């Protein structure tokens, strides 16, 4: 296979040599394959190298393992490229779309240059270092913490590596610049737009690497979406040597077709350089749109003079099993998910992302905000300040031509972790003064480069600290990241906070730049509460927030945090190392929260049965052999009919995007069918549920196969890997089953408690099984019929485990529980099966322990599991009972 690849490369170079003899146009192609990679500070020697393809990150596995932290250090990449003699007369560049976060390029052992920052494009001129034949490229990438490089900290994983495409660019010595902030080298703006015409300003950055000035012809052609040339310009230019030169011109487009959300009309600008003999020198194409946009508290967001409510999400660039090293099509699919949901706004947070993201937003009509990764805090240094400004310049120039971009954003929650709270050497007044200095530099930079677009600074809920830093009035838009009812407080605190801010700043447009609740798609609860991570609480949260946003005009837009679940290595919670506030999972499976937004925002008729991804369920049967569970159907229709196993159950009116039903499930497979009518046609959705019913009373002679019970919780949990359905605990009553005595464990927080531990349980992916427990219980009883059974007892010791103090958790920071010595016996039907059990001693703290015990029940004794305390409280997290005969 390797020989075939080498042969193809030489064939291409042969074609290229023949082609370039006649045509001096630029050639760009990716060099993503056949890289050697090694972690470490040195590239010397041949040991330890592996073959990788770009995009690549070295943190794919350690960002989700049980060991705290992930590799932050140096990695080396190297590969050879072949250069023939014809290429030596041209300018050659290596173009990186993204590498995190300090990158050095070496060509043939010569240092070419360095780029600082992990999320913008950068480009190196390698012409002086290239020789005919084989050339060695070596790239040193370092994602170590650096106090001079933002972000200093954030609630996402800082993946290291060359995680976006790398390309080789070959151009004529006189060409459109590739190194002006690694942009396209051509900038398009539309300062005046009427129905009759649009003025299109074009600035072209020209580069001449020769020793003499060059006279050329610069031609611009603007093509409509149908391929028609609608405007053109030709002008002679003398290009100075050894520097970048700006050439500006203006073209009129008559009767412009505007870019907007409904009809995202795009134009293509083709810029061509010709020499004096009419020979093509260089050519690039840029997509742009003609539109106006403005923000005000009075009128909201106006696109082309029409008011539009911006409703959408944020997005992170990572995926299950891949980290942030995604292929182009995966970026595009995310934007299509947002578009299919009905979203018209994307906050590209907290950093610029792959070029495919904006390309998709331009094509689909999604308004965007793009931001630089200055998050949580700053460093009071000139280098840090300069790096912030440089990142802003790179971002603006690289995204300049995208009509979807209406906002430049910076300093997300910059007052969340001010270092003066923990570092006595840092004086608060000096810090706030320097913070404002950097913010002002960034703001002024944005306005100098692009005065037509708005700016935004997203604040966390404590606006007073931003007022103290004089940051509130600096940007055009005030972004507010609000989590009332999740990190603390009640749902109603959300609208109260918005109204209070508007009352104080009546002329300030507000975007709710973040809001959300963590949802583990495996967890459900019919008694949802804050921080239970259930689908049901998440839906309840969003069903409160969205109507409040829609009804307030001064709230010009909002962005759910987040479109997708994403990696955050420091987090523990129900899914360790993952922030699961996404409307879709890390592998992009939609949750019920996504279905709700699609019902509220989508334009096509839509019906979706909630919990369609909750296939394995269990419940307690009543006297008639059924179990009633609530089911939501998400829809934008007015009325829904639900059928269960072929029979009509009920008709329900739709309110706030959902119709509610109380569904009788039978043991086995249940088929649900929801239907509504739109313009005389049926819109339907189907769902299959595998229900395992447990008799509520063994007096009814119902068959029993298994029971899976979680202790100390109201949560249902689906173990999708084992196809097991766990149900919440219940107290024992005669003839039934359940716990006797004790109390449900609740994790203590700064100002209360939460319904489950947030600890990462080592050695398992099914953490929620072990994050709740009942303590001090006397026994578990089940009046089971005679027969052979297997009993599985589940434990995890949670006391004494270290917790992580994460700033974003605010008052919800879980307090470390003092280590408790816990000794107890376990007896089953009077027989001691475990003596002096100390779970921490047996397996360690926050590790699962499962004890499998065969049991034969006879003489109608049923099952009694006694927990006999010796020291401290007894404890159990789950019990599974499986009947064998």
CA 587 to chain centroid = 11
- CATH number of the structural domain spanning residue 733: 2.60.120.430
Q: Are 672 and 631 in contact (CB under 8 A)?
A: yes
Let me know whether 578 and 474 are in one domain: yes
Q: Is residue 133 over pLDDT 70?
A: yes
Query: What are the φ and ψ backbone dihedral angles of 877, each rounded to 5 degrees?
Result: -105, -35
Strand order, beta sheet including 681-695: 616-621, 681-695, 668-678, 639-644, 647-653
3-class DSSP state for residue 531? Answer: coil
Pairing of strands 626-635, 607-609: antiparallel
DSSP letters spanning 373-416:
--BS---SSHHHHHHHHHHHHHHHHHHTT-TTEEEEE--BTTTS
- Mean pLDDT (whole number) for 530-534: 97
Let me know whether 842 and 787 are in one domain: yes
CA 131 to chain centroid = 43
Helix axes 535-550, 592-601, angle to 10 degrees: 20
Q: Is residue 803 over pLDDT 80?
A: no
Q: Are 663 and 631 in contact (CB under 8 A)?
A: yes
Let me know whether 597 and 726 are in one domain: no
With respect to residue 177, please indicate whether it lies within any of the assigned structural domains.
no
Q: In the listed set 288, 306, 324, which residue is the last one of a domain according to the structure?
A: 288
Q: Please give the structure tokens belonging to residue 784.
A: 């089971």
Greater pLDDT, 730 or 752? 730
With respect to residue 179, please indicate whether it lies within any of the assigned structural domains.
no
Let me know whether 378 and 478 are in one domain: yes
Q: Is residue 834 over pLDDT 80?
A: yes
For residue 94, what are the domain limits?
2-171
* Burial 60-81, CB ≥16 within 10 A → b, else e: beebbeeeeebbbebbbbbbeb
Give the per-residue pLDDT at 339: 98
Q: In the listed set 146, 171, 196, which residue is the last one of a domain according to the structure?
A: 171
Give the per-residue pLDDT at 15: 38
Cα(694)–Cα(371) distance, rounded to whole angstroms? Answer: 52
Cα(257)–Cα(259) distance, rounded to whole angstroms? Answer: 7
Let me know whether 596 and 568 are in one domain: yes
With respect to residue 372, please indicate whether it lies within any of the assigned structural domains.
yes
Quick one: which of 197, 96, 185 has its CA closest to 400?
185
- CATH number of the structural domain spanning residue 210: 2.60.40.10
Task: Determine if the peptide bond prior to 493 is cis (ω within 30°).
Answer: no
Cα(412)–Cα(466) distance, rounded to whole angstroms? Answer: 11
Using CA of residue 421, residue 422, residue 428, residue 430, what is the dihedral sign?
negative
CB-based burial label for 682 (10 Å; 0-12, 13-18, 19+)? exposed
Q: Please give the structure tokens belonging to residue 710.
A: 């979680």
Quick one: which of 542, 507, 566 has its CA closest to 656?
542
* Burial 612-642, CB ≥16 within 10 A → b, else e: bbbbbbbbbbeeeebbebebbbbbbbeebbb
Give the per-residue pLDDT at 8: 41
3-class DSSP state for residue 817? Answer: coil
Over the stretch 50-62, which tens digit does the pLDDT of each residue have? 999 999 999 999 9
Let me know whether 473 and 595 are in one domain: yes
Let me know whether 20 and 7 are in one domain: yes
Cα(448)–Cα(387) distance, rounded to whole angstroms? Answer: 17
Cα(505)–Cα(512) distance, rounded to whole angstroms? Answer: 15
With respect to residue 657, please indicate whether it lies within any of the assigned structural domains.
yes
- Mean pLDDT (whole number) for 513-522: 98
Let me know whether 389 and 472 are in one domain: yes
Helix (H) or strand (E) holding 3: helix 2-22
CA 187 to chain centroid = 30
DSSP letters spanning 637-666:
SSEEEEEETTEEEEEEE-BTTEEEEEEEEE
Over the stretch 677-704, which tens digit does the pLDDT of each residue have? 999 999 999 999 999 999 999 886 778 9
Q: Are 93 and 178 in contact (CB under 8 A)?
A: yes
- CATH number of the structural domain spanning residue 148: 2.60.120.260
DSSP letters spanning 36-64:
EEEESS---SSTT-EEE-SS--TTTTTTS
- CATH number of the structural domain spanning residue 341: 3.20.20.80
Cα(107)–Cα(126) distance, rounded to whole angstroms? Answer: 7
Pairing of strands 510-514, 477-481: parallel
Give the per-residue pLDDT at 816: 61
Cα(447)–Cα(711) distance, rounded to whole angstroms? Answer: 58
Distances in Å between the Cα of 378 and the Cα atoms of 118, 404, 412, 745 are 17, 29, 11, 39
With respect to residue 181, please indicate whether it lies within any of the assigned structural domains.
no
Let me know whether 417 and 555 are in one domain: yes
- Mean pLDDT (whole number) for 401-425: 94
Q: Are 878 and 769 in contact (CB under 8 A)?
A: yes
Q: Is residue 18 over pLDDT 80?
A: no
Pairing of strands 214-223, 267-275: antiparallel
Give the whole-number percent of the chain exceeding pLDDT 70: 95
Cα(419)–Cα(674) distance, rounded to whole angstroms? Answer: 54
Confidence of residue 23 (pLDDT cuts 50, 70, 90): low
CA end-to-end span of the chain, whole Å? Answer: 56
Over the stretch 421-453, which tens digit does the pLDDT of each residue have? 888 888 999 999 999 999 999 999 999 999 999
Cα(655)–Cα(652) distance, rounded to whole angstroms? Answer: 9
DSSP letters spanning 181-195:
TTS-SEEEEEEEE-S
Confidence of residue 11 (pLDDT cuts 50, 70, 90): very low
Can you list the positions of beta strands (E) in 392-476? 405-409, 454-460
CA 653 to chain centroid = 34
Let me know whether 538 and 486 are in one domain: yes
Q: Which residue has the tokens 């947030």?
A: 758
Q: Are 617 and 716 in contact (CB under 8 A)?
A: yes
Cα(689)–Cα(354) distance, rounded to whole angstroms? Answer: 39
With respect to residue 178, please indicate whether it lies within any of the assigned structural domains.
no
Give the per-residue pLDDT at 14: 40
Q: Are 332 and 268 in contact (CB under 8 A)?
A: no
What Rg value do the Cα atoms of the chain yield, rounded?
Answer: 31
With respect to residue 534, please indicate whether it lies within any of the assigned structural domains.
yes
Q: Please give the structure tokens belonging to residue 313.
A: 């999400």
SS (H, E, C) 681-695: EEEEEEEEEEEEEEE
Q: Are 720 and 613 in contact (CB under 8 A)?
A: no
Give the per-residue pLDDT at 13: 42
CA 388 to chain centroid = 23
Q: Is residue 805 over pLDDT 70?
A: no
Over the stretch 184-204, which tens digit does the pLDDT of each residue have? 999 999 999 999 999 999 999
- DSSP class of residue 428 equals H
Let me know whether 617 and 594 are in one domain: no
Let me know whether 518 and 405 are in one domain: yes
Using CA of residue 243, residue 354, residue 32, residue 280, what is the dihedral sign?
negative
Q: Is residue 2 over pLDDT 70?
A: no
Q: Helix, strand, coil proportions of the chain in percent (round to 5)?
A: 20, 40, 40
CB-based burial label for 254 (10 Å; 0-12, 13-18, 19+)? exposed
* Diameter of the chain measured on Cα atoms: 105
Cα(225)–Cα(238) distance, rounded to whole angstroms? Answer: 32
DSSP letters spanning 568-590:
-TT--SSSTTEE---SB-TT--B
Q: Are 501 and 463 in contact (CB under 8 A)?
A: yes
- DSSP class of residue 699 equals G
Give the whole-number percent of the chain exceeding pLDDT 90: 91
Query: In terms of DSSP H, where are the helices of 281-381?
Result: 328-341, 355-364
- Mean pLDDT (whole number) for 327-339: 98
Q: Please give the structure tokens belonging to residue 306.
A: 């029409």
Predicted TM-score of the model (pTM): 0.94
With respect to residue 668, please indicate whether it lies within any of the assigned structural domains.
yes
Query: What are the φ and ψ backbone dihedral angles of 643, each rounded to 5 degrees?
Result: -110, 140
Q: In the listed set 258, 288, 318, which residue is the last one of a domain according to the structure?
A: 288
Give the per-residue pLDDT at 422: 86
Number of separate domains in the chain: 5
Quick one: which of 415, 401, 411, 419 has its CA closest to 361?
401
Long-range contact pairs involving 447-451 (C-beta distance under 8 Å, separation at least 24): 449/393, 449/396, 449/397, 449/400, 450/189, 450/396, 450/400, 450/408
Confidence of residue 820 (pLDDT cuts 50, 70, 90): confident
Q: Is residue 603 over pLDDT 80?
A: yes
Q: Is residue 808 over pLDDT 80?
A: no
Q: Are 414 and 378 in contact (CB under 8 A)?
A: yes
Cα(217)–Cα(748) distance, rounded to whole angstroms? Answer: 72
């Amino acid at each position: 296979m390797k020989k075939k690849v080498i042969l193809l490369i030489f064939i291409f170079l042969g074609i290229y040599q023949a082609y370039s003899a006649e045509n001096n146009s630029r050639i760009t192609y990716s060099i993503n394959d056949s890289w050697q990679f090694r972690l470490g500070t040195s590239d010397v020697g041949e040991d330890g190298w592996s073959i990788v393809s770009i995009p690549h990150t070295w943190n794919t596995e350690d960002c989700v393992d049980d060991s705290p932290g992930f590799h932050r250090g140096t990695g080396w990449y190297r590969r050879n490229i072949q250069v023939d003699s014809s290429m030596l007369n041209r300018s050659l560049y290596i173009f990186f779309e993204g590498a995190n976060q300090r990158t050095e390029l070496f060509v043939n052992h010569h240092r070419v240059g360095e780029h600082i920052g992990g999320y913008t494009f950068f480009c190196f001129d390698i012409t002086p270092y290239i020789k005919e034949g084989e050339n060695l490229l070596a790239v040193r990438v370092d994602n170590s913490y650096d106090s001079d490089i933002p972000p200093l900290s954030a609630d996402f994983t800082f993946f290291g590596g060359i995680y976006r495409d790398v390309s080789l660019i070959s151009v004529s010595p006189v060409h459109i610049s590739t190194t002006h902030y690694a942009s396209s080298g051509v900038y398009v703006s539309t300062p005046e737009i009427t129905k009759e015409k649009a003025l299109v300003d074009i600035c072209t950055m020209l580069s001449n690497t020769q020793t003499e000035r060059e006279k050329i012809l610069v031609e611009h052609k603007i093509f409509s979406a149908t391929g028609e040339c609608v405007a053109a310009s030709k002008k002679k230019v003398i290009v100075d040597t050894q520097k970048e030169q700006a050439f500006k011109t203006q073209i009129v487009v008559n009767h412009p077709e505007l870019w907007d959300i409904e009809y995202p009309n795009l134009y293509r600008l083709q810029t061509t350089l010709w020499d004096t003999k009419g020979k093509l020198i260089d050519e690039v194409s840029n997509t742009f749109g003609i539109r106006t946009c403005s923000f005000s508290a009075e009128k909201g967001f106006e696109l082309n003079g029409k008011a539009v409510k911006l409703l959408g999400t944020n997005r992170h660039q990572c995926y299950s099993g891949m980290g942030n090293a995604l292929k182009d099509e995966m970026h595009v699919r995310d934007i299509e998910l947002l578009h299919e949901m009905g979203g018209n706004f994307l906050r590209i947070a907290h950093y610029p992302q792959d070029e495919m993201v904006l390309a998709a937003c331009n094509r689909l009509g999604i308004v965007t905000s793009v931001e630089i990764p200055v998050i949580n805090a700053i460093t009071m240094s000139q280098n840090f300040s300069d790096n912030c400004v440089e990142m802003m310049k790179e971002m603006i120039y690289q995204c300049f031509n995208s009509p979807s971009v209406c906002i430049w954003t910076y300093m997300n929650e910059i007052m969340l972790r001010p270092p003066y709270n923990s570092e006595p050497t840092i004086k608060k007044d000096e810090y706030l003064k320097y913070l404002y200095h950097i913010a002002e530099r960034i703001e002024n930079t944005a306005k100098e480069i692009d005065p037509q677009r708005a700016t935004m600074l997203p604040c966390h809920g404590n606006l007073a600290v931003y007022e103290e830093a004089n940051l509130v009035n600096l940007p055009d838009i005030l972004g507010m990241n609000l989590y009332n009812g999740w990190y603390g407080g009640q749902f109603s605190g959300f609208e109260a906070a918005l109204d209070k801010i508007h009352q104080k700043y009546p002329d300030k447009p507000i975007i709710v730049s973040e809001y959300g609740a963590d949802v583990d798609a495996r967890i459900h609860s019919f008694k949802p509460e804050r921080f239970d991570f259930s689908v049901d609480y998440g839906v309840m949260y969003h069903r409160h927030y969205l109507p409040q946003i829609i009804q307030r005009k001064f709230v010009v837009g909002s962005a759910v945090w987040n479109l997708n679940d994403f990696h955050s290595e420091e987090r523990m919670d129900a899914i360790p190392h993952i922030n699961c506030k996404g409307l879709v999972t890390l592998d992009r499976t939609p949750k019920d929260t996504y279905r709700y937004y699609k019902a509220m925002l989508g334009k096509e008729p839509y019906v979706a049965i909630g919990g369609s991804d909750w296939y394995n369920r269990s419940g307690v049967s009543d006297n008639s052999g059924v179990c009633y569970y609530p089911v939501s159907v998400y829809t934008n229709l007015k009325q829904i009919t639900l059928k269960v196993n072929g029979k009509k159950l009920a008709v329900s009116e739709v309110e706030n995007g959902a119709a509610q039903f109380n569904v009788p499930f039978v043991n086995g497979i249940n088929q649900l069918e929801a239907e509504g009518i739109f313009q005389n046609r049926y819109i339907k959705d189907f769902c299959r549920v595998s229900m395992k019913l447990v008799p509520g009373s063994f007096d009814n002679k119902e068959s029993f196969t298994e029971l899976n019970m979680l202790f100390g919780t109201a949560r249902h949990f689906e173990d999708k890997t084992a196809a097991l359905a766990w149900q919440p605990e219940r107290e024992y009553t005669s003839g039934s089953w359940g716990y006797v005595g004790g109390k449900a464990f609740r994790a203590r927080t700064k100002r209360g408690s939460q319904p489950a531990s947030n600890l990462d349980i080592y050695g398992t992916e099914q953490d929620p099984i072990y994050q709740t427990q009942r303590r001090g219980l006397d026994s578990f009883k089940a009046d089971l019929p005679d027969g052979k059974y297997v009993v599985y007892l589940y434990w995890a010791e949670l006391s004494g485990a270290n917790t992580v103090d994460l700033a974003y958790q605010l008052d919800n920071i879980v307090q470390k529980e003092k280590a408790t010595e816990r000794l107890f016996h376990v007896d089953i039907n009077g027989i001691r099966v475990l003596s002096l059990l100390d779970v921490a001693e047996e397996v360690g703290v926050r590790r699962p322990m499962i004890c499998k015990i065969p049991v034969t029940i006879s003489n109608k004794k049923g099952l009694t599991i006694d927990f006999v305390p010796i020291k401290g409280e007894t404890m159990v997290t789950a019990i599974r009972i499986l009947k064998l005969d």
